[in-house]
Structure 1
């Protein structure tokens, strides 16, 4: 079968089903727009909070040296350099490997807390991006449903 041989079929829908499909399409469009708006707001909020901390990526980091932590990549790089600095302070031992009376253990606990906080922001950015992408898909699917099923003609009353 070639492209020229392809035929389109016609589906017959009752008035109730037409309204139902168009309503689902509208819900998809509205839901998609809301998801995109919430994703943008979450991204802005996390960025604002990170910037408020005034964290600068140190010169010995793998990237973004001297830049302010204000996004997912800089937050990830900052978390990684904190790990390197903490391991250097502990002689290469992790928090769990240090004895309970080791004074460096508090430094390792603080480093672990800071890294977890930075990774939380990285995950938040990922969730916001996922929500925006899902919102875009909802919007497109809703638009497609409404385009495929035109509204019923208005009848004179």
Structure 2
């Protein structure tokens, strides 16, 4: 068990690191392929393509601001069923949810990478030290 635990920690750590990096790349590539540009009036990342957690968050935030202007500060649930802006509010909610989901995905990837690094460090730390060569008599 003493010899297996460090190896298992290092292997699991490597798997977490690789999985975190691969999923980060997939989410980033998927967002990039949508060709979304952060609105010019966004509080951050204005004019940049949405491809990472910060730009996705900024675009979701500005979508909410635009929607609140259109709906007079009301959310989808607060609008009357016959309000012509209800479809806009619904679409806005879907877009924001999608962008915030990608932000969460990036966070989970970062956490997986950090946990993987910790596993590798623990695995290395648990290894038995090599025997020192015998001192010459």
Relative to the length of structure 2, the TM-score reads 0.92
The CA distance in 1 between the partners of 2:40 and 2:91, in whole Å, is 21
The CA distance in 1 between the partners of 2:38 and 2:107, in whole Å, is 21
Task: Quote the offset at 1:147 in angstroms.
Answer: 3.9
The CA distance in 1 between the partners of 2:80 and 2:128, in whole Å, is 67
Unaligned runs of 5+ in 1: 1-19, 152-157
What residue in structure 2 maps to residue 8 of structure 1? none
Matches within 5 A, 1:125-136: 125-136=106-117
The reply to whether residue 30 of structure 1 matches residue 14 of structure 2 is no
The CA distance in 1 between the partners of 2:33 and 2:124, in whole Å, is 39
Relative to the length of structure 1, the TM-score reads 0.81
The CA distance in 2 between the partners of 1:94 and 1:34, in whole Å, is 42
Unaligned runs of 5+ in 2: 132-137
The reply to whether residue 47 of structure 1 matches residue 46 of structure 2 is no
Structure with larger Rg:
1
Stretches of 4+ aligned residues off by more than 3 angstroms: none
- Equivalent pairs, count: 131
Task: Quote the offset at 1:79 in angstroms.
Answer: 0.2
Task: Quote the offset at 1:65 in angstroms.
Answer: 1.1
Q: Which digits, 9 at most, give the CA deviation of each residue in 1:41-73, with x for residues without a partner? A: 000000000000000011110011110001000
Q: Which digits, 9 at most, give the CA deviation of each residue in 1:101-149, with x for residues without a partner? A: 111111000000000000000000000000000000000001111145x
